[in-house]
Structure 1
Amino acid sequence: MTNKEKVRSRFLLPKKRLREERKKRELTTLYMADLIGLKNRRQYELKEKGQFPFQDYEMAIISKEFGMSETDLFFSR
């Protein structure tokens, strides 16, 4: 396993806390995709499932929308 693969497996985990908070607020994946400027909800869903990384600015936008820290939403286990 390469170093990059190790890092990806460590940090590209499903964003369970993010999903819980989104559902608690009754927000759709389409709304979230629009919020961060993605073309469709599928792109957002793949990021939320941990298959693709969120960009820094996307994490900042979502954190501001939820009124929570990026650490709590994206890096809590």
Structure 2
Amino acid sequence: MSGRERRREAPADQSALRDGLTPAQLKALETLEHFRWTLKFVRRPMFQDPVPVVFDRDGQRYAVLRSDGTLDESPGFRIRD
């Protein structure tokens, strides 16, 4: 098996990403988008709430939107390069 990354960065369907987010998360996301943060993906662990991951405008920092709408910049996991 080659060591090449097989995942591709596909354009995210924003409406599909927002499905299942709480009203507080959606409101916080709307505010973050004014500061050019972007919802890149949503982790959907089995039997747990969705975990939306947002990136800053430069793509250097990421954070998680908690279910109450708060921003967690130290979510406890790393994003692979």
Query: Could you tell me the TM-score, scaled by structure 2's length?
Result: 0.29
Name the one with the larger helix percent: 1
Query: Could you tell me the TM-score, scaled by structure 1's length?
Result: 0.30
Name the one with the larger strand percent: 2
